[in-house]
Amino acid sequence: MAQERIPVVEGWFTGDPTDFRLLGTRCRSCGSVFFPRRDDCCRNPACGGTELEETPLSRRGRVWSCTDVRYRPPAPYASDPGRPWEPYTLVAVELAAERMVVLGQAAPGVGPAELAVGTEVEVVPGVLNEDDEHIWTTWHWRPVGGAR
């Protein structure tokens, strides 16, 4: 039986692997763009608009900051203590067009040594976790041109 693919957060990214994108919200009144999505009102305190539309965000940006996570976080973080902890790299990326910073994990095998501030990266589909029945999907950041 095939595993069911489930987005970690519904509506935050496309399911299309050929044009994978994070999905934000654009205010029709002032043009401000936000991520994560919001569907009730503009986050720009000077606006207050309520007409919002889904908008795909830039696929590329530049590393603003990054760090490696080498320890299992304490509660209330949910993790399976029966599985070995796998370190990962957390990346803050300034998107090219929107000029906003979005956090996410680096693609597997990519560490801080490959992600200096200013490195160009692209968003790619990723897997957060899986079991025999499910694959929980998310996004990852990968250096542009990186064959990882």
Mean pLDDT of the chain: 90
Answer yes or no: is pLDDT of 81 > 80.
no
- 109 and 39 within one domain: no
Q: Is residue 17 part of a domain?
A: no
The domain total for the chain is 2
pLDDT tens-digit series, residues 4-60: 989 999 999 998 878 999 999 999 999 999 999 878 899 999 998 999 999 999 999
Q: Is residue 16 part of a domain?
A: no
- 118 and 49 within one domain: no
Question: Residues 19, 58: contact at Cβ < 8 Å?
Answer: no
- 108 and 45 within one domain: no
Strand duo 88-95 + 101-106: pairing:
antiparallel
- 79 and 35 within one domain: no
The domain containing residue 33 runs over which residues?
A: 23-56
User: What per-residue confidence (pLDDT) applies to 147?
Assistant: 41
User: What is the rounded distance in angstroms from the CA atom of residue 23 to the CA atom of residue 143?
Assistant: 20
- 67 and 127 within one domain: yes
User: What per-residue confidence (pLDDT) applies to 148?
Assistant: 39
Report the largest interatomic distance among the alpha carbons of the chain, rounded to a whole angstrom. Answer: 52
User: What per-residue confidence (pLDDT) applies to 146?
Assistant: 60
- 134 and 81 within one domain: yes
